[in-house]
Structure 1
Amino acid sequence: MENFPIPAPGFNGASRRTEVDNVFNWFRQGWAIFIVNPGAWIAMMVILIVIYLGLALVPWIGPLASHLLTPVLAAGMLLACERAARQEEFAITDLFAGFQHHTGSLVMLGVLYMLGMLVVFVLAFVFVGGGVAGGLLIGNPIGAGVALGGVFLAGLLWMLLSLPIVMAIWFAPALVVFNRLQPVDALKASFHACLKNTLVFLVYGLISLVLCFFAALPLGLGFLVLGPVLAGSVYASYRDIFIGA
């Protein structure tokens, strides 16, 4: 016999299609989240940049560690976004909130993300190596063309294989933190949400590229502002697309 009240079913990762116009609202919300406490956001970005630059200096292990940490640090940014959106106080230390909440699931996301990007790198490296080796064996201008063709194909392969991985990881930290989904379920839900809104995210990506271009002009200092705005836009898009968010 059922007990009353019957508990509501758990969130299953269901998402909806949204309108392209909503992209502009995501950026507006991202800006609104930033101006709640610009000082704290800029300090978070400085810390993030230092972390990733430090990892980039470590051969081989550094890039792998950066992929491993990305979901954990992204969760901290998203939790800070939620507090800012609710007009609650948040601090610079919220950047590391992912090490305190749902850490196991977030680390597992990082492991899966790291392994996926590692496979993509190996496949692209094989293409580059094959193209360059073939060009050297030919040893004339045609060989140079073969080598360049191998590099081009490797870059194209890297983009094509990386895209599904990025789609899967895009909303996964938010789904783990806010909806308590298991890592694999979060990756699947994120991928399907991005696939369902392909045109929307194409527009979002193009606008983000333009903003990144202008952010890079003043010695890259614009990213201290753009980074938090993009984080806020991801939070806004998550709230817009996922039912029960």
Structure 2
Amino acid sequence: MQINPLRASIGWRWVRDGFSLLKRQPIALLAITFLNLMLLSLSVVIPLVGAVSPLVLTPALMVGLMHAVRAAETGRMPSPALLFAGFRDAGGKAWRPLLVLGAFNAAATLTALALAALADGGELMRLATGRAGSDAVVPDDTSLLYAAIVFVLVYTPIQMAMWYAPLMVAWHRVPPAKALFFSFFAVWRNKGAFLVFGASWFGVAFVASLGVRLLDSLLGDSPVLLSMLLSPLSLVLITAVYCSFWATYRDAVVDAQLRPPG
């Protein structure tokens, strides 16, 4: 397994590929994304670990999503069962290291929030965990801004380490610690492409938000109708983001075209 050095402009192509891949099997991919989001939401009711269970399950379910997007790219119909394919990878042994990655993801995320709490007394953490409403935040609260900056600075390298790690664990049988290390430096090696990738998705989100504001002004005081329009739009964008994740792996990892070992 090797990592291709890529030019920065490919970051925008990853975003376009996300939408192109979604167009190949839109109903199936939207349904699998909805199932993924529903499972993550329902997982919070798990006793004792409910608050962090979505973070723990995300790596394994992400592998399943990549199975689904890969199937769509090769012309096959993704089935909902593919969402759980990560648990069956590596001869049925991938679930253990994937859960180890999930535990790391949860611990690292909570650590980033805890460090951010030093700047704002924990307001950002209460918002992130749903223990405070957005109306409780003062718009010009500089401490919240500082907390957000601290969180981004700490969380960015965590995300870099987690980006490819689940696929490296499940498809290449790399131990979790090494997968985190290799993933971090793989993203760093193509940091230009990832900066363009992130900026491009920010642009897409900005344009979408402008469209939402326009719809809001046209619909007037009709929150129910607006919600009916926003829910499908959000699902489409989230699914396109997942599809673009696959594009970043397919282009960067040299043997991504090979069949993942089962």
CA distance in 2: counterparts of 1:241 and 1:23, whole angstroms: 11
The superposition leaves residues 180-218 of structure 1 with CA deviations (integer Å, 9 ceiling, x where unpaired) of 211111111111111112221111111112223455634
The superposition leaves residues 124-150 of structure 1 with CA deviations (integer Å, 9 ceiling, x where unpaired) of 22332299xxxxxxxxxxxxxxx9443
TM-score normalised by length of structure 1: 0.78
Is 1:15 aligned with 2:3? Answer: yes
The superposition leaves residues 70-119 of structure 1 with CA deviations (integer Å, 9 ceiling, x where unpaired) of 10111000011222222223202211222322111211111111111111
Moved more, 151-160 or 207-216: 207-216
CA distance in 1: counterparts of 2:143 and 2:251, whole angstroms: 41
| Corresponding residue pairs, total | 219
CA distance in 2: counterparts of 1:111 and 1:52, whole angstroms: 15
Matches within 5 A, 1:198-213: 198-213=191-206
The answer for unaligned runs of 5 or more in structure 1 is 1-10, 132-146
Conserved 8 A contact 1:30-1:232: yes
The answer for unaligned runs of 5 or more in structure 2 is 124-139, 213-228, 257-262
Matches within 5 A, 1:1-245: 11=1, 14-55=2-43, 61-101=49-89, 102-129=94-121, 148-215=141-208, 217=212, 218-245=229-256
Tell me how large the CA RMSD over aligned residues is.
2.7
CA shift in 2, pair 1:208/1:32, >3 Å: same
CA positional deviation for 1:61: 4.5
CA shift in 2, pair 1:59/1:202, >3 Å: farther
CA shift in 2, pair 1:127/1:211, >3 Å: same
Aligned to 1:142: none
Which has the higher Rg, Structure 1 or Structure 2? 1
CA shift in 2, pair 1:60/1:208, >3 Å: farther
Residue identity over aligned pairs, in percent, reads: 28
Conserved 8 A contact 1:215-1:226: no
CA shift in 2, pair 1:92/1:58, >3 Å: closer
CA distance in 1: counterparts of 2:253 and 2:45, whole angstroms: 37
CA shift in 2, pair 1:211/1:193, >3 Å: same
CA distance in 2: counterparts of 1:74 and 1:215, whole angstroms: 24
The letter for the 2-side match of 1:126 is L
